[in-house]
Structure formats: C-alpha cells, structure tokens
Amino acid sequence: MSKTFATPPPGEQQAPHPSRGIIFCPRCGSPKTQTKNRAKKLGGAFGTCFGIANSFSGAAKGATVGAAISLRAVSPSTPMNSLTVAVLGAFVGGAMGCATGAALGQVIDETVLNNHLCLRCGHSFSTS
C-alpha cells in the first residue's frame, strides 16, 4: 500500500488538511492533536434514523392513497412494487438524513464543543 494513502494507527497524528495548518495545544504547545467529532457522529446517526422513519411514514401514506387510486385504475400495482419503492425511499431518506445530521453536527463541533484533544497532555479545547 502506498504511504500517501495509508491511514495512521490510532493515537498518531494525521496529516493536516491542505487548507488548514497544524493545530497546537494551547496548554502544552504540542502539535499532536486529534479531532473528536462527537456531534458529527451523533448527528449522522440520529439523522439516519429520523430519515428512515420519515420515509417509511411517507411511504405508508402514499401506499394508502395509491391503493385507493389503483382500485379505480385499469392495472393495479402489485404489493412487491410498493414494498420495493418503500425500501428504496427509506434508503434515500436515511442517506439524506445522515448527510443533514452530520453537517449540523459538524457545525456544533466547530462552534460549541471542545472538539480537539491533545494526545500529549489530554487537554480538550476548541479552535474558535
């Protein structure tokens, strides 16, 4: 495996992002810091759950309306079509919820929480 794509083992400092410099600990001055991203992870998990639940709720409402309309139509839809659409809708809703929750969590991490951890002295701090 190439050195440029290898991920460092846990506890080692990752290479800084090209647009950002190295973040130093304000307490000890060490460059060995790590981001926690707790709100981003939690927001992504909650967003996924809520997105899937909302998609299934919408699919159930759409299925009742679709069933009422299909009774009057010439070719009624099969139950497998409705189930497939509901599952695919849940995947899309979950992905959209995850992206939204992770973006909101990242904003919370960067503005509210102490998102950085010094691996040398254990100090948690924020850069804002």
More confident residue, 60 or 100: 100
Residue 74 banded pLDDT, cuts 50, 70, 90 = very low
pLDDT digits (tens, 9 = 90+) for 3-25: 544 455 555 555 454 446 788 98
H or E element at residue 72? helix 38-72
Q: Is 15 helix (H, G, I), strand (E, B) or coil?
A: coil
Instruction: Specify the pTM.
Output: 0.65
Residues 53-64 have pLDDT tens digits of: 888 887 776 666
Q: How far apart are CA 122 and CA 4, in angstroms?
A: 28
Cα–Cα dist 97/44, whole Å: 7
